[in-house]
Amino acid sequence: MAECGEIGMMLGAFEDSELEPNEMQEVAFHLARCESCTGILGEYSTIGRDLRSIADEPSLAGFSNAVIARVDRLPQPVLARVERFLRRQLDSVGAGFAWGGAIAAAAVMTIILMTPYAEQFANRNAKPATSAATAAREDVPASNQVANATADEPTMADNDSHADISRLESENHSVAVWSEPRRDTTVIWLPDQP
């Protein structure tokens, strides 16, 4: 079993979930048996919380305007200035064409939805009666599908993510997550707070 000295170097990275899965595991094992290291981990999360609580949040009112003002005072390439002028002219002319296009698109969509032509258009694109043969080809027996999947499975098991965590919230600052693809398992670690 890893000694406290070795584990101590990894506690911060464990807290930050920045260790390899086997290292996360090793630290988790140790923490389950070592109150001292668990206490240190708690102190690290307290430090983080305290740092965030004293962090300054400066007011950024007018910041972007100040930056743009400085940027505008920089010497501009001639081509860039000409291009900007032309773009402004095109924008005002182009607005009218944009209105007309939007109204025309909305009118076309309404016609398609509300008139019988919509159904005829849909039927014209429907598949013919030969779909029965296609369905028969696609209707592979389940046993064959399983067999095929099994043949491919060794690589799929290694690469396929079987749990995809998009959000994890916890009051516990020591929560950790790691994946064990060989065992098709994802682990969420929630040690008791000291």
Partner 1 sequence: MTLRPGSLTFLIIATTAFGMVGVSYAQPASRQVNVYIDSVMAADTNEGTDPRLAPMGQKLRGLFGFSTYSLIGHNEGQTDCGKMIAFTLPGGKILHVQPRAIDGDMIAMEIVLFDGTRPMMTTDLKLKNNGTLIVGGPRYEQGMMIISIGASTGGSQPMQAQSTPPAEATTR
Partner 2 sequence: MRTPGRQDGDEAELIERSRKGDSEAFGVLVERYQRRVVGVALAVVHNQDDAIELAQETFVRAYENLSKFESRSSFSTWLYRIAANLAIDFWRREGRHVVLHGEDAENEISKLPTATGDSFKEVSRSELSARLKQALEELTPEHRAVILLREVEGMSYDEISDVLQCPRGTVMSRLHYARTHLRNILKDVGGD
Residues that bind partner 1 (CB under 8 A): 25, 28-29, 32-33, 91, 94-95, 98-99, 102-103, 105-107, 109-110, 113, 160-172, 175, 180, 183-192
For partner 1, the closer CB: 69 or 90: 90
172: which residues sit within 8 A by CB, 6+ positions away?
190, 191, 193
For partner 1, the closer CB: 33 or 73: 33
For partner 2, the binding residue among 33, 70, 124, 127 (CB under 8 A) is: 70
Work out how close the CB of 41 gets to partner 1 at its nearest, in angstroms, rounded to a whole number.
Answer: 12
Distance CA 191, CA 179 (A): 17
Distance CA 103, CA 96 (A): 11
Beta bridge mates, 176: 189
Cβ atoms 178, 163 nearer than 8 A? no
User: Position of tokens 């005829």?
Assistant: 120
Residue 119 contacts which entry, partner 2, partner 1, none (Cβ below 5-8 A, type-dependent): none
Q: Which two tokens stand for residue 72?
A: 């505008």
For partner 1, the closer CB: 6 or 91: 91
Work out how close the CB of 158 gets to partner 1 at its nearest, in angstroms, rounded to a whole number.
Answer: 14
Per-residue x/- marks for partner 2, 3-32, CB under 8 A?
Answer: ------x--xx--x-x--------------
80 near partner 2, judged by CB under 8 A:
yes
For partner 1, the closer CB: 20 or 67: 20
42 near partner 2, judged by CB under 8 A:
yes
For 84, half-sphere exposure in the C-beta direction (CA atoms, 13 angstrom radius) is 7
Distance CA 52, CA 67 (A): 27
Q: What is the DSSP letter of 193?
A: P
Distance CA 85, CA 77 (A): 13
Distance CA 118, CA 124 (A): 10
Residues that bind partner 2 (CB under 8 A): 9, 12-13, 16, 18, 36, 39-40, 42-44, 46-48, 50-56, 58, 60, 63-64, 66-68, 70-72, 74, 76-77, 80-81, 83-84, 87, 165-168, 194
